[in-house]
Amino acid sequence: MNARIVHIASNTFREAVRDRVLYNLIAFAVLISAAAIFIGQISIEIERLVVINLGLTAVSLFGVVIAIFVGIGLVSKEIEKRTLYTVLSRPVRRWEFIVGKFFGLAGTLVVNTFFMALGVFGALLYVAHRFSGADSSIFIALYFIILQFLIICALALLFSSFSSPLLSAVFAFSLFIIGSFADDLRGFATLAHGLTRWVATGTAYLVPNFSALNVISAVAHQQPISWQLVLQNTLYTLFYTAMALSGAVLIFDRRDLK
């Protein structure tokens, strides 16, 4: 990768760390420990199922909130505070800035997810006393969760390149919710008629397909996850992220800085 992108990404990571973004891990640790103790006391057979379900859902939600709230500020805050002036007056292309920022946040989220995953495995060990072979599919669920973060980061960046931070957050969060029901929406589209069908189909395919990226419940129930799905989700995320980032670059490239 181009060195400037790496420098911008690592500075973005440093910013996140110094802005205490990783402090969310404390809240996560408290939550997961409390849950583990609580579940360990009440249930008999379903501890594993509950811990995985709850743990991974928390990992996903914590990350989504960070992706949205840090993501919408990545570029807009730099424009607002005018820190960009002394960056873009250097040999840095605008697209490099966007891509660097994106990777910086993505890196932050990967590190954050790594620590949260340790928490989930710790909780699992606490309630089940040992790991089983089926637990390895938790890694796939975590991988999908990270893919989901990438899409959300890119969308937050895209929205913040043309709208206010508040609106961007609302847009990104709405898309996260709608995207989580993408499967249902696609199902609904096939049932509808006329204009509704067109609108529903269009929406269903335009919103990020987070249903396909959510395998938490399948993993909790020890259902196998196919390699096709892994491949398909990887390609889908690459494509969707690239499109969203290109949109952000196209808008940002033409924009006057205040």
Which residues bind to other proteins, rule: CB under 8 A? 3-4, 7-8, 11, 14-15, 18-19, 81-93, 254, 256-257
* Closest distance to other proteins from the beta carbon of 114 (Å): 23
Q: Rounded to an integer, what distance in angstroms lies between the CA atom of residue 219 and that of residue 21? A: 28
Cβ of residue 104: shortest distance to other proteins, in angstroms?
Answer: 12
Q: Where are the alpha helices (DSSP H) in the chain?
A: 3-18, 24-42, 47-71, 73-80, 85-88, 94-128, 137-160, 165-180, 182-191, 194-206, 210-213, 216-220, 227-253
What is the smallest separation between the CB atom of 241 and other proteins, expressed in angstroms?
24
Cα 99-100-105 angle, rounded to 5 deg? 100
Residue closer to other proteins by CB (options 57, 163) is: 163
89 vs 228, beta carbon nearer other proteins: 89
Q: How far apart are CA 163 and CA 169, in angstroms?
A: 10
In 3D space, the residue among 173, 165, 162 whose CA is nearest the CA of residue 250 turns out to be 162
Buried b (16+ CB within 10 A) or exposed e, 97-136: bbbbbbbbbbebbebbbeebbebbeebbebbeeeeeeebe
CB of 20 to other proteins, least distance (A): 10
| Comparison of 87 and 225: residue with beta carbon closer to other proteins | 87
State which residue, 93 or 186, has the beta carbon closest to other proteins: 93
CA distance 239 to 256: 28
C-alpha pair distances (Å), 21 with each of 40, 62, 102, 108: 30, 11, 16, 9
CA 208, chain centre distance (Å): 11
Least distance CB 68 / other proteins (angstroms) = 21
Please say which residue, 15 or 47, places its beta carbon nearer to other proteins: 15
Q: How far is the CB of 9 from other proteins (least distance, A)?
A: 12
- Residue number, 47 or 78, with CB nearest to other proteins: 78
